[in-house]
Amino acid sequence: MASNFKISANKIGDDLHLKLSGEFDGSSAMKLLNMLKKCGKRHHSIIIHTSGLTSINIFGQEVFRSNFSELNEIRHRLTFTGGHSDYFQPEKDELLRSAQ
């Protein structure tokens, strides 16, 4: 894992805000996915702020996207914000496949 990657969590009402900071690589992707699986069911919506990321490794992006389907129960409640939010959006064809 990138030594400077961090996830800061803040609960506001029924919503969970996650602020990502540092470098995002494959290990960081797994850390984020595991946190979402663990905490996601307890919150109405989860807002993931990406502006604090300094870089996104292509492998990290692929790890996150390829495991996105594992978030089946909560992915419709995820919102990505910030300048790096596009890197976390699953491909449209993946969304269509997983809905079937």
Tell whether the model's pLDDT for residue 44 goes beyond 60. yes
pLDDT tens-digit map of 51-69: 999 999 999 999 999 998 8
From CA 22, how far away is CA 51, in angstroms rounded? 10
pLDDT at 91: 62
22: left (phi over 0), alpha (psi -120 to 50) or beta: left
Fold of 6-99: Transcription Regulator spoIIAA (3.30.750)
**Between 24 and 39, where is the model more confident?**
24
Average pLDDT over residues 61-81: 89
Q: How far is CA 70 from CA 2, 23, 41, in A?
A: 23, 23, 13
pLDDT tens-digit map of 1-15: 557 999 999 999 989
For the chain, give every domain's residue range: 6-99
Tell whether the model's pLDDT for residue 34 goes beyond 90. yes
